[in-house]
């Protein structure tokens, strides 16, 4: 365990590792409250496209809804409606007052209200996806809002992103490195990203994704399916 | 009365949803009515003497109650002609209750009381008095849009806080007046209104893209 920032060699930025001897996860909430998964990441990394893919993959098998914190336009809604097979009443938008990270971390009240309103309107849900507004590498979700979080980066943002770290890359329960189909075009080395992600994240999982090639985001959908299946059944 | 408790209640970092509301400033900016620090000074003064005055009176009134806040809640409905502003006030009241329940033991207030009513009840539950509740209410009606102006217009944050500091004596006066009138019938409490804020809020609610909830 190396909780304090340190370096291994002259080529590395200071970093820290999670304690491998401690399970970093709180127990999953018991049904019937929906499992809440936060999806964060920098602007343009593909969060909305991933949400659409997950709705497409999981919409038929799970009772799900989406809360979005992005600057939300009719195009975004149309994008989800057209691509995600998700009816409009299952999507809520939250305004963030120019501070997307505040709404998911420091003051989560509007997001909690949105989740509760969805559950009140739609009945018990199994899964709520909370999509953050596009922010930066330091944005993470409060544990008061979500149960697990996914951080999405893309290869076009530069293959140095995993090495730069930040709480999203380092501590997210799942790191998604998106748009791998662009890697040859932008000169990104996926092996470097994989190695750096492992160094940053210890045992926490990382998946590579190309929504062009995998429209159902299979590795992410499977990760979510396992979480839903692992929930404590209602007494 | 604990001054430190008042700071907890009035802290802009209190997780009670306020950061997502601009107090009408986003609409005023879009309409070209607020462009610089000078404009903002006028906007804040106007807001303090309308919304601030009413909020302070109702927060003080709620703080002086032990139960049944319904007439205060209805009184605020009557003083808020814009449906969008009624929704914004109730959304912030609900968020404030969520924060308050984590800190103090609250009376029954319903699901979505108006924000000043929730604030007054929280202040009482925290052991504060009507004057402190009114100070927090009046201060909140100007500190929220001031922060929104820094984010929306990129104004110099020192100049904006100088505006707030200059308003502080007026906030104190308004709070003292509010605390002296907690026995007044609800119908006699201040009913100052700002038609441009009402109209701006209704237009704002129809925008396809907005950064603030109100």
Residue B91 confidence (pLDDT) above 80? yes
Residue A21 confidence (pLDDT) above 60? no
Residue B97: CATH number of its domain: 1.10.4190.10
Residue B175: inside a domain, yes or no?
yes
Number of alpha helices (DSSP H) and beta strands (DSSP E) in chain A: 9, 7
Residue B144: inside a domain, yes or no?
yes
B19/A107 CB distance under 8 A: yes
Chain A contact present for B213, CB below 8 A: yes
Residue A25: inside a domain, yes or no?
no
Residue A18: inside a domain, yes or no?
no
Q: Which two tokens stand for residue A155?
A: 């290869």
Instruction: Identify the CA nearest to B112 among candidates B138, B145, B86.
Output: B86
Residue B211: inside a domain, yes or no?
no
B17/A109 CB distance under 8 A: yes
Residue A43: inside a domain, yes or no?
yes
pLDDT tens per residue, range B177-188: 999 999 999 999
A73/B22 CB distance under 8 A: no
Residue B192: inside a domain, yes or no?
no
From the CA of A185, how many Å to the nearest CA of chain B? 33
pLDDT tens per residue, range A189-226: 999 999 999 999 999 999 999 999 999 999 999 999 99
Q: In total, how many domains does chain A have?
A: 1
- Residue A137 has a pLDDT of 84
Residue A190: inside a domain, yes or no?
yes
Residue A1 confidence (pLDDT) above 50? no
pLDDT tens per residue, range B144-185: 999 999 999 999 999 999 999 999 999 999 999 999 999 999
Q: Give percent of chain A with pLDDT exceeding 90.
A: 63
For residue A110, what is the nearest residue in chain B, using CA coordinates? B17
Residue A32 annotated as lining a ligand binding site = no
Q: Which domain holds residue B48?
A: 30-187
What confidence tier does A235 reach under pLDDT thresholds 50, 70, 90? low
Residue A3: inside a domain, yes or no?
no
Phi and psi at B179, nearest 5°, equal -70, -25
| Pick from B13, B98, B151: CB nearest A109 | B98
Contacts of B178 (CB under 8 A, 6+ apart): B53, B56, B57, B59, B60, B61, B130, B131, B134, B138
Overall average pLDDT of the A49-59 stretch = 93
Residue A22 confidence (pLDDT) above 90? no
Residue B74: inside a domain, yes or no?
yes
- B 121-150 residues with CB below 8 A of A? 148
Residue A136 confidence (pLDDT) above 70? yes
What confidence tier does A154 reach under pLDDT thresholds 50, 70, 90? very high
Cα B136 to chain centroid distance, Å, stands at 8
Residue A44 annotated as lining a ligand binding site = yes
Residue A47: inside a domain, yes or no?
yes
Residue A142: CATH number of its domain: 3.40.50.300
Residue A17 confidence (pLDDT) above 70? no
- Residue A88 has a pLDDT of 83
The span from the CA of A149 to the CA of A130, in Å, is 9
Overall average pLDDT of the B54-67 stretch = 96
The span from the CA of B107 to the CA of A21, in Å, is 45
Q: Lowest-pLDDT range, A96-100, A118-122, B67-71, B194-198?
A: A96-100
Q: Which domain holds residue A151?
A: 35-229
Q: How, if at all, do strands A64-68 and A206-208 pair? A: unpaired
Q: Give percent of chain B with pLDDT exceeding 90.
A: 97
- Residue B24 has a pLDDT of 97
Q: Lowest-pLDDT range, A65-79, A169-183, B5-19, B104-118?
A: A65-79
- A183 touches A190 (CB < 8 A): yes
| Pick from A71, A95, A110: CB nearest B95 | A110
A110/B213 CB distance under 8 A: yes
Sign of the torsion angle spanned by Cα atoms B165, B170, B174, B177: positive
- A182 touches A207 (CB < 8 A): no
Chain-wide mean pLDDT for chain B?
96
Segments in chain B forming alpha helices (H): 3-10, 25-30, 37-47, 53-63, 70-78, 83-103, 115-125, 130-153, 157-179, 195-204
pLDDT tens per residue, range B18-37: 999 999 999 999 999 999 99
Residue A20: inside a domain, yes or no?
no
Three-class SS state of A80: helix
B13/A106 CB distance under 8 A: yes
Residue A75 confidence (pLDDT) above 70? no
């Amino acid at each position: 365990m190396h909780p304090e920032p340190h370096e291994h060699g002259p080529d590395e930025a200071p970093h820290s590792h999670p304690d491998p001897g401690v399970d970093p996860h709180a127990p999953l909430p018991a049904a019937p409250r929906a499992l809440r998964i936060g999806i964060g990441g920098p602007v343009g990394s593909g969060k909305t496209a991933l949400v659409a893919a997950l709705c497409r993959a999981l919409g038929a098998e799970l009772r799900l809804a989406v809360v979005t914190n992005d600057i939300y336009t009719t195009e975004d809604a149309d994008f989800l409606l057209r691509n995600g097979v998700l009816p409009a009443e299952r999507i809520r938008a939250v305004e963030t007052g120019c501070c997307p990270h505040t709404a998911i971390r420091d003051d989560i009240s509007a997001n909690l209200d949105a989740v509760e309103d969805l559950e009140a309107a739609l009945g018990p849900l199994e899964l709520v996806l909370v999509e953050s507004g596009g922010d930066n590498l330091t944005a993470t979700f409060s544990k008061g809002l979500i149960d697990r979080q996914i951080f999405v980066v893309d290869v076009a943002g530069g293959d140095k992103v995993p090495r730069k770290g930040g709480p999203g890359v380092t501590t997210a329960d799942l790191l998604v490195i998106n748009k791998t189909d662009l890697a040859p075009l932008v000169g990104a080395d996926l092996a470097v990203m994989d190695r750096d992600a492992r160094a940053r994240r210890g045992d926490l999982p990382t998946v590579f994704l190309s929504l062009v090639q995998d429209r159902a985001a299979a590795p992410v959908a499977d990760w979510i399916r396992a979480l839903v299946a692992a929930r404590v059944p209602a007494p | 009365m604990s001054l430190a408790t008042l700071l907890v209640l009035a802290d802009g970092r209190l997780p009670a949803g306020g950061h997502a509301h601009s107090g009408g400033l986003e609409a005023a900016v879009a309409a070209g009515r607020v462009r610089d620090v000078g404009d903002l000074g006028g906007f804040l003064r106007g807001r303090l003497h309308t919304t601030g005055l009413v909020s302070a009176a109702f927060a003080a009134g709620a703080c002086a109650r032990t139960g049944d806040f319904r007439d205060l809640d209805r009184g605020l409905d009557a003083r808020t002609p814009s449906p969008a502003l009624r929704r914004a006030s109730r959304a912030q009241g609900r968020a404030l209750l969520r924060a308050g329940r984590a800190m103090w033991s609250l009376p029954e207030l319903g699901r979505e009381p108006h924000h000043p009513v929730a604030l007054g009840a929280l202040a009482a539950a925290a052991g504060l008095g009507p004057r402190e509740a009114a100070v927090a209410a009046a201060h909140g009606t100007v500190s929220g849009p001031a922060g929104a102006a820094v984010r929306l217009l990129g104004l110099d944050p020192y100049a904006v806080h100088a505006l707030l500091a200059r308003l502080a004596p007026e906030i104190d006066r308004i709070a003292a007046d509010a605390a002296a009138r907690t026995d007044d019938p609800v119908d006699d409490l201040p009913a100052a209104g700002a038609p441009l804020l009402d109209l701006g809020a209704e237009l704002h609610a129809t925008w396809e893209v907005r950064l603030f909830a109100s």
